[in-house]
Structure 1
């Protein structure tokens, strides 16, 4: 079985390539740059940008399974004049072009790394998202992932190629960037933070747990045609997450008990309402469908995942 991984130098795709290579599985990495760093022995194909016009023939010849993790990701400081157009060009048109070419080449299964943002931006506390909820994306990235999912499932029904969709929430682990990395650096430096009284609940997924589910979905017969949610199986408040991350570092957290309503009000005045929502709002996912259909359990606990993230932290 030959596996093609797109986004093979990214956070998720790179970890998957390392796992597959470490287990001696035939893996081919689709990369944008010809000098990409890959594990020894991994075959690579330079394909350039993900777009409708990308020619995947060389990359997919002889491939049995495609794991598609390449995407235009959600960005905090958007510069595109029409973000929705740009997300659709890459995440919808580029993805469906790859899938059609894969189907025509005889690829048996297409595993798509989507996003929990297809479900929405936040959930009601105590009422987690499920894989079978009606999609309710609220911003261009989530909309583009939803449209890609819909196109893939339709293509799968028409062509017979097995489509599997996985929607992860926030993914953390060694080499994580953006807000999670900033949070770890603040904790490491002992910076006081006003997040000591937030009583939300959020689902996260350790990188190794997401990769393990992807590996399961390569061959599991019951995965075909399904949408799965994934998490560490434990929801955590922002306050508790900070405390447990600090504990993984062997440090004390310095959290000031500022009410979340005050934080949300202050953030709104500063034009940072979205940031306050991520810190104070809830986003829970129910992985019971994943457990029941696949018999899958997260190999790492939340605390084990945080320990691995801390070990790989770049200060």
Structure 2
């Protein structure tokens, strides 16, 4: 039988680059959708150049495709972007691409949403898909709006909500944590008790494969997370282990560290360092999926590889 053909957006981004390699390695034929001509990586089945902000004519890109994996969008790290940009690139482009996929009779649309479609930077308790979504900033609201747009289109879809993603070439918060781990001095972070769920690009690509292969109808959001949450101190300890160093973490009380961050205008950083955001991949687990990577060993391996 002919291998399934997947149309992939965002193949030049942090997650998209890994998905391209992982899907190809798993036997899929992959057609990449590009904003501009670039040197094409090996192993792809074709490429189409187009603008996702104007996806009215995607017949060439989607013709014959069995599925779309949509990982392109305006990243959360671009915190200064206007609200309209998030709506254009994250909501309207997703809506237009999904409508085009429905017209092309694509079997399934896999949308890389975000845990921030469901919550702010921290949350009480353990989040699952059963919790009502409550995004707190334009990025998360634009992702949730895209999910709601998919629900109104006649196509089977899965809106994956990954927690904080780590892996080679990582950006944003995980890149900042890696920079902290590389600092050659003790850090006053040993007293942080807040815990965070993470997911590696390897585990995320495994979840994408799981929903591409799933039988029946999905049409729902699915959290993607590795099983055991970790504290910031444990993250840095695991990374420093991979760097061949001791953790070097001094247990300064959370209250003192939090007050110092608040006084210096770093309130969001305070919430990220001290608050917890634990999520369970309940929907995927019900489908039989388990993350193939354990977070602490994944972080250690990342640092060992020079991540």
TM-score interval, normalised by the smaller of the two chains = over 0.9
Whole-angstrom CA distance in 2 between matches of 1:231 and 1:191: 31
Contact 1:52 1:89 (8 Å CA) reproduced? no
Quote how far apart the aligned CAs of 1:262 are.
Answer: 1.8
SS in 1 for 2:152: helix
> Aligned runs of 1:134-283 on 2, under 5 Å?
134-155=132-153, 159=154, 161-222=155-216, 224-283=218-277
Change (3 A) 1:202 1:55: same
Are 1:132 and 2:133 counterparts?
Answer: no
SS in 1 for 2:193: coil
TM-score in terms of structure 2 length:
0.93
RMSD of equivalent CA atoms: 1.7
Listed one character per residue, the Cα deviations across residues 156-188 of structure 1 (whole Å, up to 9, x for unaligned) are: xxx2x1111110010001221233223223323
Quote how far apart the aligned CAs of 1:54 are.
Answer: 5.5
Map of 1:306 onto structure 2: 299
Listed one character per residue, the Cα deviations across residues 228-265 of structure 1 (whole Å, up to 9, x for unaligned) are: 11111001111112112211222112222222222222
Map of 2:116 onto structure 1: 117
Whole-angstrom CA distance in 1 between matches of 2:128 and 2:183: 38
Whole-angstrom CA distance in 1 between matches of 2:184 and 2:56: 47
Q: In structure 1, which of residues 21, 30, 36 is the aligned counterpart of residue 24 of structure 2?
A: 21
Map of 1:59 onto structure 2: 61
Change (3 A) 1:55 1:304: farther
Unaligned runs of 5+ residues in structure 1 are none
Whole-angstrom CA distance in 2 between matches of 1:61 and 1:69: 19
Whole-angstrom CA distance in 1 between matches of 2:216 and 2:183: 47
Aligned residues: 303
Whole-angstrom CA distance in 2 between matches of 1:143 and 1:36: 34
Map of 1:47 onto structure 2: 50
Unaligned runs of 5+ residues in structure 2 are none
Whole-angstrom CA distance in 1 between matches of 2:235 and 2:216: 34
Whole-angstrom CA distance in 2 between matches of 1:54 and 1:187: 46
> Aligned runs of 1:84-103 on 2, under 5 Å?
84-103=83-102
Contact 1:9 1:38 (8 Å CA) reproduced? no
SS in 1 for 2:32: strand
TM-score in terms of structure 1 length:
0.91
